[in-house]
Structure formats: C-alpha cells, structure tokens
C-alpha cells in the first residue's frame, strides 16, 4: 500500500511540474489573436489633395486612381475653401468613392494675407489652395509622414511604394528633380519648360544672388511631396516659406512669367540642397505644357504617376493623353462639373 501511495505521489508531482513548464499563460492565450508587433500593424497612409472650385473633378479622378490601385489603408485629407466643401463632400458620398476614408479640411485663406504678390500673367497660380502644401503640419497633426499631391495627377502604381520613399536624416521632404529622367528631356526641350533655378528666381535681384545658388542648378517639382512632419516642424519650414513669400511681396524676387513658380519658388529656396529624391517614375510631368507634345504610350503605361502640370489640363480641351485621365474620372452627381471636349 505504501509503495502504491508513493507512486501516486511521484506521478502527481511530475504532472504539476509538467504543467508549470508547458502551460501557456492565460493572458497571452486569450489575447494572442489580437497582439501585433508595431511592424505588423497596418500603417495608415495620409494623402493631402486639394479640391478647388472649377477643378474638383481633378481631385476626384486623382483620389479614384489612388484608391483603385492599392490595398493599403489610405486616409485622404481633402482640402477646400468653405464655399467648396459641401460640393466635394456630396460628390464623394454619392459615388463609388463613398467607401474611402477621408477628412474634409477647410483652408482659411487669411493665413496668406500680405504674403502673395499679385501677378496678372498667371492669376490662376495665386489661388489660395496652391499654398496648402506650405502648411502640411497644420492639416495632418497626428502623422509622422505625409504625401502631398497636386490635383492634376493620376496614380497608376501602388501609393504604398511612394509612401515608402526613404528620406535622408535631416531632410523634411522628398521631391522629383526636373533633370532626373532622360526620357522626359525631349519633352522639356520641345515645350520650353524651365528646369533650372534661372526659370524661377530673378537673378537680377541682390537677395537672390546672395543665396549663392547657381542659376543652372536643377529645379524640382513640388507637385508630389513625401514629407517628414517631425523634421518639417523642427526646421520651421512653414515659417521659412512665409518669410520668402513676404520678401517677394516687397522685392519681387520670382520670375514667375518664366516658370510659373509662384508657389514653387519659395520651396526651391528653402529646400535647396536639403531634400531627398523620389523615384523618377513616380512623377512623370509636363503633360499639360503643350496640347501637342506627347510621350510614347509604352512609357506612359510604365509610369507610376502622371502629372498634367501646365496650362492644358485633361478635363479641358485641348489636352494630351486625356484617355489615361478619364479612366479614373467619376462624373459629378450634381452635374455642376462637366468635361470640356471637342463635341461638347
């Protein structure tokens, strides 16, 4: 009997030790399904895009192209003036875009008071929403990294790729160099597009010469920006841009008749030598600089992002490669925005 009791005691002790060694803690067992490491958690991609009066169809097409070509979680910050916000909200909520995640943000043009010099040659460039990109931290306060896109773009690639653009330490933004892609050089020459600082800044002015920037330095295009908000705020980028806007009001420093760079010029100054590069295929530009000059269809099919910068927009006539843009356009449910076509 004693031997049997001893055997049972030994077996009981062994069973207790086994359970202590192999048992999964209750808290972990119950919560394992919900636990994710920071790397595994889905990262939201914030995309800022403006919806201006008269060109809301552009913003809609851009958003449609982004949303349709990615599996990533995208949060659209759609920026407008008070008078235009109801229109763009209704357009989204009454179309197939109603599934997107978005926030409509009102931009107060009073922040620009005294900072914009009137320019009769390109009055459309003075619209308040052209300067939204200067104020990204005010619009997207909870994000470390932000994408800004002009409204006249179409995204054919996965926006996740653009978001994954690496920014060098100390750089607040990444842009596309205007000299970066040999395939676009012929287009630049044919339409007379400026791709150096000479095309944007007035080198007759002492304040510009004092910058020490060679006029032949390659410019960049701020229609597509990947921005680091921590660096942007640390370097007080918005304040620097505003300083140059105010100086331009006083001294007329921008040769905007050449480059059309009312919003571009202060960025060229502030970010000179202090920005990272975007993959060239993520910003194929100049599609709006001529109603005749065209890229090859094969080149455009390979492009990740198309930009109709210039006067000739794909929702107007004349323009080039409008079929690529119309693939993503969603008609206005209210009927206010209409495409301009030869037969319209």
Distances (CA, A) of 13 to 10, 19, 300: 5, 10, 74
- State residue 227's pLDDT score: 98
What are the phi and psi torsion angles at 61 (to 5°)? -65, -40
**What is the spatial distance between Cα 253 and Cα 202, in angstroms, rounded to a whole number?**
5
Extents of the domains making up the chain: 45-178+220-235+274-327
CB atoms within 10 A of CB 251: 14
pLDDT per residue as tens digits for the range 115-159:
987 765 566 667 899 999 999 999 998 999 999 999 999 999 999
- State residue 289's pLDDT score: 87
Alpha-carbon torsion angle 185, 286, 161, 300, nearest 10: -80
- State residue 59's pLDDT score: 98
- State residue 35's pLDDT score: 32
Classify the C-alpha dihedral 168-172-173-179 as positive or negative.
negative
Give the single-character DSSP code of 128: G
- State residue 169's pLDDT score: 97
Give the pTM: 0.85
Classify the C-alpha dihedral 45-49-51-54 as positive or negative.
negative
- State residue 195's pLDDT score: 83
Task: Pick out the chain residues at pLDDT < 50.
Answer: 18-41
- State residue 141's pLDDT score: 85
- State residue 12's pLDDT score: 63
**What is the spatial distance between Cα 183 and Cα 191, in angstroms, rounded to a whole number?**
14
294 closest CA partner among 264, 315, 324: 324
**What is the spatial distance between Cα 266 and Cα 112, in angstroms, rounded to a whole number?**
14
- State residue 138's pLDDT score: 93
Q: Which residue has the tokens 């140059």?
A: 244
| CATH of 45-178+220-235+274-327 given 1.20.1070.10, 1.20.58.220, 3.90.550.10, 3.40.50.1820 | 3.90.550.10
- State residue 292's pLDDT score: 87
């Amino acid at each position: 009997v004693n031997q049997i009791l001893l055997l049972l005691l030994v077996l009981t002790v062994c069973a207790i030790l086994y359970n202590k060694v192999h048992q999964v803690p209750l808290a972990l067992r119950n919560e394992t399904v919900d636990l994710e490491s920071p790397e595994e958690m889905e990262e939201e991609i914030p995309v800022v895009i403006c919806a201006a009066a008269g060109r809301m169809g552009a913003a809609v097409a851009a958003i449609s192209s982004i949303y349709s070509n990615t599996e990533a979680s995208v949060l659209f910050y759609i920026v407008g003036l008070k008078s235009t916000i109801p229109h763009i909200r209704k357009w989204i909520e009454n179309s197939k875009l109603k599934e997107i995640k978005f926030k409509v943000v009102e931009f107060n043009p009073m922040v620009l008071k005294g900072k914009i010099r009137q320019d009769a040659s390109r009055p459309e460039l003075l619209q308040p929403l052209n300067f939204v990109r200067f104020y990204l931290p005010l619009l997207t306060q909870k994000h470390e990294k932000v994408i800004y896109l002009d409204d006249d773009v179409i995204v054919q690639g996965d926006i996740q790729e653009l978001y994954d653009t690496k920014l060098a330490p100390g750089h607040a933004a990444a842009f596309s160099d205007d000299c970066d892609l040999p395939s676009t050089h012929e287009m630049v020459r044919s339409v007379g597009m400026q791709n150096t600082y000479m095309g944007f800044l007035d080198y007759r002015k002492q304040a510009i010469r004092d910058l020490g920037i060679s006029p032949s330095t390659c410019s960049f295009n701020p229609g597509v920006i990947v921005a680091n908000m921590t660096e942007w705020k640390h370097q007080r980028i918005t304040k620097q841009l505003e300083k140059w806007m105010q100086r331009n009001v006083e001294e007329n420093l921008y040769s905007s008749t050449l480059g059309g760079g009312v919003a571009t010029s202060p960025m060229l100054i502030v970010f000179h030598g202090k920005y990272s590069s975007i993959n060239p295929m993520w910003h194929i530009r100049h599609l709006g600089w001529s109603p005749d000059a065209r890229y090859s269809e094969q080149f455009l099919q390979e492009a990740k992002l198309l930009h109709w910068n210039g006067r000739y927009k794909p929702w107007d006539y004349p323009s080039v490669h409008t079929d690529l843009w119309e693939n993503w356009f969603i008609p206005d449910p209210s009927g206010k925005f209409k495409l301009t076509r030869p037969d319209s």
